[in-house]
Structure 1
Amino acid sequence: MIANGERLPGILMIIIRFVLPMQDHMIKKLLLIFWEIVPKTTPDGKLLQEMILVCDAYRKDLQHPNEFVRGSTLRFLCKLKEPELLEPLMPAIRGCLEHRHSYVRRNAVLAIFTIYKNFEFLIPDAPELVATFLEGEQDMSCKRNAFVMLLHADQDRALTYLASCLDQVNSFGDILQLVIVELIYKVCHANPTERSRFIRCIYNLLNSSSPAVRYEAAGTLVTLSSAPTAIKAAATAYIELIVKESDNNVKLIVLDRLIALRENPSHERVLQDLVMDILRVLSSPDLEVRKKTLNLAMDLVSSRNIEEMVLVLKKEVSKTLNTGEHEDTGKYRQLLVRTLHTCCMKFPDVAASVIPVLTQFLSDSNELAALDVLVFVREAVHTFESLRPLIIEQLLDAFAGIKSVKIHRAALWILGEYASSPDDIQAIMSATRQALGEIPIVEDELKRAAGEKSDETDQQTGGQSVSKLVTSDGTYATQSAFNTTSVQKKGEARPPLRQYLMSGDFFIGASIGSTLTKLALRYVHLVQDPVKQNRFCTEAMLIIATIVHLGKSGLCTKAITNDDQDRLLMMLKVLSDRSPAVVDVFIEQCRKAISTMLEAKSQEEASTQKAKEKPGNKVQPDDPIAFLELSSTRGSEFAGTENVFELSLNQALIGSATATSQTQAADATGASKLNKVTQLTGFSDPVYAEAYVNVNQYDIVLIILLCVCDR
């Protein structure tokens, strides 16, 4: 023994004499750790004579009446590497298999398994002994350990036991069911003819009460069979797991499995029938889960179930309106809007039922959701000509409730560009007048300012409305409506468009002028009565002129900019001249410009989608034919039936001298993952460790690979 750099030859006997006989359980547990790390051999490799006494103490502990002492000692024996110490203990270890307590029996099985794996000559009949033990054992943890040993030591005996109790697998504990799934997986890949014998067991395990067993059984079923019934059963199990599981990380992992299923073309048709079940996952409050679910459902939806999907999405929209405002609620609402937009573009038949639902978002306080609605409305009103009257009507109904200046600007542009009947044009003009308030605006604001003053008698000075106000020091002060921003009456709100103008945002004023100009020119083209033409144009010019007057009056927070003023003055000139060239620009060329923009956007989205799609497998005439029965390693051409353990090993060999260029091309995904592997130990260490780091939002998952080097 060495302590603090000095050799203490007598310390081992002191421990044996005074510490080893103690019956305190904690002392015994610490002693087991001590015996695990203490050197047990001399420098020439011979066993220390003192270890004979220790071995006798092991034998006594294996016969100890306390089950904790027996179990702890059995676990310690799993770590011994000296067969000379283990050989005298074998009868006692065998006797522990018949102990009354399950803790002792399951650790005895582990000890026998480890000794048989390391020193088979010490217990050559271990598989037969454990198989006999397994048939009469009732405790699930003991049966699990025994089955694991047979799985690795004698697979035929494990199969014999499994075949004898196939009908009882559902009644087993989840720890044993997981090992059974692993055995079936390995056996079916090693001998495909056994699939028909055990695949029914996998089907039964899909209904297990344990989520872990159901998850593993579904993954095994997918790799063993590509039949539609198998894929549907596995996908249904995945969906049930996502719906019932509370952990968002688990939901995301299982969702990734579903998405991986969808990437196989032969499975996509089966998953299309499960779109409504997939939408049940939207009950999860996590935004990332909802986003993945909507994307998956959107990829799978077809004309057969699009109407049902739209109904579900409309119900989800209603739920977001009834719940309190939250950051995730607004983002979820935006996701729903975009999904409904995509549904309408892919399936125009449902657009008529979706538009009334989406237009109510225009008055939403979440500006992003309202902007998404307007992007959809712009594309829909341009694409679906038959729906233009409905869209115009819905926009006009929602126009007064819009709360954002950006939304008002976009809505005005759509109304001005696509209003095509005299009645619609008149309705838009009325809505604009109502949103601006009484015209002229300056005179109306001066009246407001005059009515807001104190009870003192108003005096007219120089044609201006003035009032006397009492200051804090008791003196009188004169205030004019022309040199101050008018204050609205308490509890009285201005119309929305006027409020924007009074706040100094005259870009909306330029938009109003452009919209009214388009409406007037189109009204002149549609209505032949000169009196009606002049009346409408005059009204439009009056509104434009009063906006310019308001911008230069000094009543607003900010004066009108030169750009906005020039734009409005140009609109007045266009309405007064009405030259054919300018009319063509406003009526025809603007429509062509938006059409060109939408076509370019559609082509860009199509090219992006095409880039995301997996390239098809191209088979050349001189390519070799791979026969499944003659190949020990199954390639990607048999996707869905390959052994994932062997596939992972092949991916780990990418870039080595044994990997061909074809293998490297097929496993490019695995090679990219290897770039994220972090080495944790040195190559010459007894235990080599490396980790693959996977980051998902705020969660960091470490997949650690350990390799023990036997020297």
Structure 2
Amino acid sequence: MSSELPCYTLIHTPTDIDLPSEAQLKEKFEKGTDKDKIDALKKLIYTILNGDKVSQGMLMHVIRFCLPSNDHTLKKLLLIFWETVPKVNAQGKLLQEMILVCDAYRKDLQHPNEFVRGSTLRFLCKLKEPELLEPLMPSIRQCLEHRHSYVRRNAVCAIFTIYKNFEFLIPDAPELVSNFLEGEQDASCKRNAFMMLLHVDQARALDYLSGCIEQVTQFGDILQLIIVELIYKVCHANPAERARFIRCIYNLLQSNSAAVRYEAAGTLITLSSAPAAIKADATAYIDLIVKESDNNVKLIVLDRLIDLRQNSANERVLQELVMDILRVLSSPGFEVRQKTLNLALDLVSSRNVEDMVMFLKKEISKSASESADEADKYKQALVKTLHTATIKFPDVAPTIIPVLLEFLSDENETAATYVLLFIREAIHKLPPLKQSILTSLQEGLLSIRKPKVFMAALWILGTYCDTEQSILALLRLIKQSLGELPIVESEMRELEGTGEEKKDADAPQDKKVEFKNE
């Protein structure tokens, strides 16, 4: 199509397709079967999308030979065709042929098959020509009373779009849809009707919500989402309404739908900054992260939880939920775990740091059952978290240091090296714990498996053992680790070898006897 005309549908056109001439297409429309007509109509749509003009004679062939068909595939293609084909002439006036099309779609709106009615109503949402829509309005209104919900919900969408674009065609649409909503039972139909009132007549939407606010938790999730959106908009436009609807939002935090709980939590935090609201909000987010299986969703919700902490007034409330936040570590994704550890470390206090340490100790033992790569990264993150917690809360260092020293015997050399860096820092920053740290390091020295880790540990002991007692203890430990020195036996053999050589030198030399072959 040309750039001046609107386009509502994108269709992939095969690069190797061979587009027939108009004469060939007309012949297929006139003499072909439904299958031939479907193929010809597809190629005609490709031709239009390529920007080629369609003659009025071609339009008449489509009207004469395709519109009367009852084949559902052909009818669906016709909807796409009428959406893409130019409907006005060069002067901007509606083509005369479109009157015949309008009459055909009035018949489809009264068709006994609900698929035909519903798909036609969806097509009408895309029409931008009020001359085509005006004759169809009585039939669209009748579809609101159809027995099938598929037809009714698409009728609401059609009325919504037409009212938004051409209000003069159906000026009583809000009242019509409000009455429809009162008597409707289908969740999808109620959702579409409520969404229309939300955008065109919020007063009617609020009247409906006020009448059924106690039953909100029993609604379907698609309707609950629209209700949350309405409450958000109304309360921001008129803050005095917050007290009226905040209880409803609290109730929706218990919804069975994760999407509803997420949106309700996001709305609640904008309506109230009370500690009870913050706690309910954070609890909802944590529950979503723990139960949701998609790691991308976990990260999105976790970011919302982190944003919640940015307000200093919320930090005290969140500190009480540190152990609940640590439940997120059960998730398999490393990025989720890393963010969780960082958040917990920012929130931990002297009241619950010991509980956090014990929890992380259990996580260390659990990580042994995971894949090598993930387990190594996770262990390093745990070590860093415990390290930071020790520097931040020196009082719990005696509890954390034995946990960290267990990593020295681990196969993960990076984690063990980081533990030694922590030990060196702790000796500098926590002088009262210096002796106990060195003693614990000496006890774990013999269990180290990696040579580089062993040398680094030995260097720390050699550098910071500065008392006679600690130096002697270290030397005994080194001697014990080396065992019986092999150098003693070597010297004895060397001495014995020297004595035998001297005897051989003093003894008379035997004459050499040579034998010649005769």
TM over 0.5: yes
| Corresponding residue of 2:190 | 143
Residues 446 and 146 of structure 1: CA distance in aligned 2, closer, same or farther (over 3 Å): farther
Cα deviation digits, residues 506-553 of structure 1 (max 9, x gap): xxxxxxxxxxxxxxxxxxxxxxxxxxxxxxxxxxxxxxxxxxxxxxxx
Distance 1:218 1:8 in 2: 57
Distance 2:491 2:176 in 1: 100
Give runs of aligned pairs for residues 243-642 of structure 1, distance below 5 A.
243-321=290-368, 323=369, 326-439=372-485, 441=487, 443=489
CA shift for structure 1 position 264: 1.2
TM-score in terms of structure 2 length: 0.83
Aligned length: 453
Give yes or no for contact 1:438–1:444 (8 Å, CA) kept in 2. Answer: no
Give yes or no for contact 1:25–1:69 (8 Å, CA) kept in 2. Answer: yes
| Corresponding residue of 2:71 | 24
Distance 2:273 2:397 in 1: 36
Residues 48 and 434 of structure 1: CA distance in aligned 2, closer, same or farther (over 3 Å): same
CA shift for structure 1 position 413: 2.2
Distance 1:342 1:149 in 2: 53
| Corresponding residue of 1:101 | 148
Residues 324 and 86 of structure 1: CA distance in aligned 2, closer, same or farther (over 3 Å): closer
CA shift for structure 1 position 172: 0.8
CA shift for structure 1 position 421: 4.5
Give yes or no for contact 1:32–1:76 (8 Å, CA) kept in 2. Answer: yes
Residues 444 and 195 of structure 1: CA distance in aligned 2, closer, same or farther (over 3 Å): farther
Cα deviation digits, residues 135-156 of structure 1 (max 9, x gap): 1111111111001100111110
Distance 2:108 2:209 in 1: 35
Residues 106 and 6 of structure 1: CA distance in aligned 2, closer, same or farther (over 3 Å): closer
Give runs of aligned pairs for residues 63-142 of structure 1, distance below 5 A.
63-142=110-189
Cα deviation digits, residues 540-590 of structure 1 (max 9, x gap): xxxxxxxxxxxxxxxxxxxxxxxxxxxxxxxxxxxxxxxxxxxxxxxxxxx
Of 207-216 and 408-417, the range deviating more from structure 2: 408-417
Distance 2:210 2:53 in 1: 61
| Corresponding residue of 1:50 | 97
5+ residue gaps in structure 2? Answer: 2-20, 23-46, 502-518
5+ residue gaps in structure 1? Answer: 451-458, 465-711
| Corresponding residue of 1:493 | none
Cα deviation digits, residues 59-93 of structure 1 (max 9, x gap): 11001111000000000000111111111111110
Give runs of aligned pairs for residues 655-666 of structure 1, distance below 5 A.
none
2:57 to 7, 10, 24: 10
Residues 442 and 124 of structure 1: CA distance in aligned 2, closer, same or farther (over 3 Å): farther
Distance 1:275 1:336 in 2: 16
CA shift for structure 1 position 405: 2.5
Identity %: 70
| Corresponding residue of 1:180 | 227
CA shift for structure 1 position 320: 2.5
Residues 91 and 418 of structure 1: CA distance in aligned 2, closer, same or farther (over 3 Å): same
Q: CA RMSD in A?
A: 2.3
The amino acid that maps onto 2:195 is V
Distance 1:310 1:53 in 2: 78
Residues 199 and 118 of structure 1: CA distance in aligned 2, closer, same or farther (over 3 Å): same
Structure whose residues are more often strand by fraction: 1
Secondary structure of the 1:10 match is helix
Secondary structure of the 2:144 match is helix
TM-score in terms of structure 1 length: 0.61
Cα deviation digits, residues 380-411 of structure 1 (max 9, x gap): 23333333333222212211121222222221
Give yes or no for contact 1:395–1:411 (8 Å, CA) kept in 2. Answer: yes
CA shift for structure 1 position 55: 1.1
Distance 2:357 2:492 in 1: 51
| Corresponding residue of 2:106 | 59
Distance 2:59 2:74 in 1: 16
Give runs of aligned pairs for residues 188-267 of structure 1, distance below 5 A.
188-267=235-314
Cα deviation digits, residues 488-523 of structure 1 (max 9, x gap): xxxxxxxxxxxxxxxxxxxxxxxxxxxxxxxxxxxx
Secondary structure of the 2:254 match is coil
| Corresponding residue of 2:514 | none
Residues 87 and 382 of structure 1: CA distance in aligned 2, closer, same or farther (over 3 Å): same
2:80 to 33, 54, 77: 33
Structure whose residues are more often helix by fraction: 2
Distance 2:491 2:225 in 1: 78
Give yes or no for contact 1:170–1:204 (8 Å, CA) kept in 2. Answer: yes
Distance 1:226 1:289 in 2: 27
